[in-house]
Structure 1
Amino acid sequence: MRKSIKFVTLILIFALTLTTFIGCSSQEANESVSESTGDKVVDVVVIGSGGAGLAAAIEARDAGKEVLIVEKMPMVGGNTLRATGGLNAAGTSSQAALGIEDSAESHYTDTMKGGYDKNDPALVEVLTSQAADAVEWLIGLGADLSDVGRMAGASQDRSHRPTGGAPVGAHLVQVLKASAEEKGVEILIETTALEILAEDGVVTGIIAKDKSDNEFTIEAEAVIVATGGFGANITMVTEYDVSLDGFGTTNHSGATGDGITMAVAVGADLVDMLEIQTHPTVVPSNGYMITEAVRGNGAILINRDGKRFVNELGTRDVVSEATLEQEGETSFLFFDEGIKESLSAIDGYIRQGLVTEADSLEALAEALEIDADNLIATVETYNGFVGENNDKDFGRDDMPRSLETAKYYAIEVGPAVHHTMGGLKINTKGQVLTEDGNPITGLYAAGEVTGGIHGGNRLGGNALTDLIVFGRLAGQSVATDL
């Protein structure tokens, strides 16, 4: 079996991430959320409080519906808290301010190509055509999405994030959570959905339990499933791809596929369950993901011979596979002071002790125990490619800067389970479908719990787009249908 990052429980890492990016404990982050108090009756119950669940709740509440969110973890945010790179959208005000020309059609083409055309074209059309409006909606709620960079597989700079390239996910959770609470959405933390209730094919609510294992019923005319994927459930992962046995995960410990299981029990169909993505730049010792934006801003990958071995902006599956072919099945993400200054997220990696740094290439090579002459030659060759705007070795088409400013930095990285592209089958309204293709009355879903949008490989930056676009859509559809 391949040497890989061990599959470990990441509650401690998740807490570290939350503390680093939000700057408060889980108790402080959720001081205004509630705990369960017995049976309830609402218009809409949302299962999961990540970006999709919060966006859905806000839209349903704006339409005048009484909305309740249940969240099994002790904090709001789910995997959205871990998103660092950005949110893909084309034709936004942020792009216009930076002079970036882009289009929804280009975004669509990149997404279908990145997913090997396994994507549902109708869902991708919704994703890409409504992405710019999602960005403007978030900005209207108070989000800072003024910095725009490029993630792997994109033909244009369209990944939106806060000023200076700061981590985007925790910022969006803060903005969305504040908006939901301001609008009167009740959020129950440490409250686990156990079952979706249905009578004669019509969803009527859920059964949940609180942190003391007391079960209660939430009656609702509609249920929105926004529980995320199953990347932290090794049993479920290996059920669909046994080759991933032993791999680590970038997911928080709550990403266990509960929503998929509950929806299937009431007749939901599944799609693309075999499509499980690994992320190529994850720290082997602790499963901490290094954002793709580091490569997008100009970093390269080198092996233990001090040489490049892949187009660093290839799709995640391609870069992961290439990394596994190197000695030790890991590599080093290499960058200089210029890249560090271009992306403030890197400061967090340094504070956490994930980065090896040195004042010269020779000193860095010594610290990494790699061939100094090879490293120097690699960097010189790459800088030459940047000057010529032609990567003659691997065909990288976006090389934003040379690597020539000391200090020099490296992070050891390798692949880990990152995103599960498969999940509940939905239509363009966010309604969950049966095997016959019919909507289940009262059941909706959004985010990584769904399938069909990303096909065989998700492009970096499209996850947040998915969460917000389809989260909003589910909330709007619920309000219309009710």
Structure 2
Amino acid sequence: MTMTGYVPKFATFAIAAFVHTAAFAALMDGSYVASAPGVWGSPVETTVVVKQGKIADISFKHNETEGVGSRALDVIARSVVKTQSLAVDAVSGATASSKAALMALSVALQKAGYQASNGVKNTVQTAFGDASTDVVVVGGGPGGMMAAIELSRAGKDVILLEKLGVLGGNGTFTSTYIQAGGTVVQAKHKSTDTTVEGFAKYLSGYPDTDPVMAQTVAPESKVVVDFLVENGADLDRIFKPFAHAPSDGRAPGLEITKTFTKALEKEKVDVRLNARATRILMKDGRAVGVEVTPLSGKPYKVTAKAVILATGGFSASKEMLKQFAPEAAVLGTTNSAGTQGDGHRLAQEVGAKLTDMGKIVLNPSTYNANGTQISFTALRFTSGGIMVNQSGNRFIDDTSNDKTGVTQAMIKATGGTGKAFLIFDQSSVSKLAIIKDYVQKGYVLHDKSLENLAKRLGIDPKGLANTIAKYKTYAESGNDPEFGRKTFGCKFDTLPYYGVKIEPAVHATLGGIAINTKAQALDQNGVPIKGLYAVGQVTDSNLGRHNVNVFVPPSFARIAVREILKETK
């Protein structure tokens, strides 16, 4: 591999993002607050406590990605207190969060008498020139990371481009489970009905699923989950058909991102953050690289023998939603801010066919945290609770896996607003670490009095009391004659009561680049575009709504890599 200005691993920014050549001069004692925009646009707020002229404590309030951005803030806080200086390293893989933290700290410390002009420098991005590699991967989510790892292990040079300042993509936001059959975890628990073949059959049973695609991806999903577990991921809780999640009820997305990131570091993959691919380079009908526009600095080209697109869907693109699913354009999304349809546009510009672009999946149970949609699906699926409208009435099987169907019922039951409530008790919170975290963050209200909780949420107290009384009889008998609910993890027998306001959001887009069983991008006539591969939600994989599950991108990434290795022997 040859390139100009090559910097290994995750060095997208100069390591010392902010530099102060000496420790702070004596600061004024007190508590100082400031903020700066974070990765998702919401503020990263810091409180700095100064005692006897020195920084004694630093804390942050934020909506940064747990396990990624949050880790960066913790590391920076400890480093600044220890060194009494802003000359600390940006955290690899979380540069944008690091930058926000240091900017907020700089402003807060100015209030304490720190002179920002004395030594604080702007973040400088490493300058890259044109480069040549075996394969260029666009997108740093589970699919892109899996592809880069597999290629590196096969002895290929690879450059991984991620337009955001952190890795993980949509995978980080997975709050429920990752699916697969025949895994080491299932074998450990002596699960006899969860084979690879059984998983393929399970996938094939859903609408809009091509059985051939299901049979193609099922064996790869086993390898993906086994890879994650063997590299340290806790996916030891199995439930539902083929579902894997952390043993304590945490969101699996954090485990998945952490595990893939560590594997990338181990392989010493050339990962370039804040690097947006803006054009696919073509020569004689073949994809031979991409043009890159970094966050700052000059555009450059990466030439390669193959290109893999792993850029995700377009749930966060209001422009594309208005074009293909206008009814959803007014909704927020639980997806990464990076899901802007970049790969769809890049592929379409070189003749790729886009299919089923109007198909989306909605998430009915999200909390709006200052514009960031927080999913409560894990609670609905595993530990119960009930969904009610403002009158306190249920309107559907609260645990239904048909997210779009639940959303439609929710809109009808709320007079078109879609604003409803999820009500549960302490037993639900105790089962899931992710819900405990949401309670601590203040997303959820709780009260020992059901009447008081109803009033605080704006629900009719009598209506809610009547609904829960009926539901408790259903839970006791195991039969829900109203809506056919089958599981009753929450029985409202453990105080306090909890409640959260919920609203629909875009969960995923299903349409995308048409691909075949080799993950090759297809043109308007169904013919593979040489050298161009696509994996995950950037594609229409013909897996129906299972295309949204986090096992899909890395599974197809393995398929794409296998095909590339055949072609580039």
Same fold flag (TM > 0.5): yes
Note if contact 2:196-2:218 (Cα within 8 Å) is conserved in structure 1. Answer: yes
Distance 1:59 1:97, change over 3 A: same
SS at match of 2:536: coil
| Alignment partner, residue 561 of structure 2 | 475
Question: How far 1:369 moved relative to its partner?
Answer: 2.7
Question: How far 1:144 moved relative to its partner?
Answer: 1.1
| Alignment partner, residue 391 of structure 1 | 480
Match of 2:128 among 10, 17, 37: 37
| Alignment partner, residue 187 of structure 1 | 271
| Alignment partner, residue 152 of structure 2 | 61
**Counterpart amino acid of residue 308 in structure 2:** I
**Counterpart amino acid of residue 24 in structure 1:** R
Count of aligned pairs: 463
| Alignment partner, residue 144 of structure 1 | 234
**Counterpart amino acid of residue 21 in structure 1:** G
Percent identical: 31
Distance 1:336 1:127, change over 3 A: farther
SS at match of 2:281: strand
State the Cα deviation string for residues 11-58 of structure 1 (Å, max 9, x = none). Answer: 135984544333323841427999452111100100010111001111
Note if contact 2:180-2:225 (Cα within 8 Å) is conserved in structure 1. Answer: yes
| Alignment partner, residue 28 of structure 1 | 91
Match of 1:407 among 490, 493, 496: 496
| Alignment partner, residue 366 of structure 1 | 455
Larger radius of gyration: 2
Distance 1:415 1:134, change over 3 A: same
Question: How far 1:440 moved relative to its partner?
Answer: 1.2
| Alignment partner, residue 11 of structure 1 | 40
Distance 1:90 1:164, change over 3 A: same
Distance 2:517 2:289 in 1: 23
Match of 2:469 among 353, 358, 380: 380
Question: How far 1:355 moved relative to its partner?
Answer: 0.4
Of structures 1 and 2, the one scoring higher in RCO (CA 8 A, sep 6+) is 1
Match of 1:239 among 323, 326, 329: 323
Gaps of 5+ in 2: 1-37, 45-61, 74-89, 97-124
Question: How far 1:443 moved relative to its partner?
Answer: 0.8
State the Cα deviation string for residues 102-146 of structure 1 (Å, max 9, x = none). Answer: 3445544554454xx223332222233432222112111221111
Distance 1:14 1:346, change over 3 A: farther
| Alignment partner, residue 533 of structure 2 | 444
| Alignment partner, residue 119 of structure 1 | 209
Note if contact 1:336-1:405 (Cα within 8 Å) is conserved in structure 2. Answer: yes
Report the TM-score when normalising by structure 2: 0.77
Question: How far 1:80 moved relative to its partner?
Answer: 1.5
Note if contact 1:191-1:209 (Cα within 8 Å) is conserved in structure 2. Answer: yes
Taking the TM superposition and a 5 Å limit, the aligned residue runs for 1:296-311 are: 296-297=381-382, 298-311=384-397
**Counterpart amino acid of residue 20 in structure 1:** E
Indicate the larger mover: 226-235 or 90-99: 90-99
Distance 1:399 1:102 in 2: 23
State the Cα deviation string for residues 275-294 of structure 1 (Å, max 9, x = none). Answer: 01211112245242224210
Distance 2:229 2:492 in 1: 34
Distance 1:131 1:383, change over 3 A: farther
Distance 2:145 2:127 in 1: 18
| Alignment partner, residue 311 of structure 2 | 227
| Alignment partner, residue 6 of structure 1 | none
**Counterpart amino acid of residue 312 in structure 1:** D
State the Cα deviation string for residues 276-330 of structure 1 (Å, max 9, x = none). Answer: 1211112245242224210112122111111211112330110111111133421
SS at match of 1:329: coil
Distance 1:65 1:200 in 2: 23
Report the TM-score when normalising by structure 1: 0.90
Question: How far 1:148 moved relative to its partner?
Answer: 2.2
Distance 1:434 1:173 in 2: 32
| Alignment partner, residue 132 of structure 1 | 222
| Alignment partner, residue 317 of structure 1 | 404
Distance 1:293 1:91 in 2: 23
| Alignment partner, residue 5 of structure 1 | none
Distance 1:29 1:280, change over 3 A: farther
Indicate the larger mover: 280-289 or 66-75: 280-289
Distance 1:352 1:240 in 2: 35
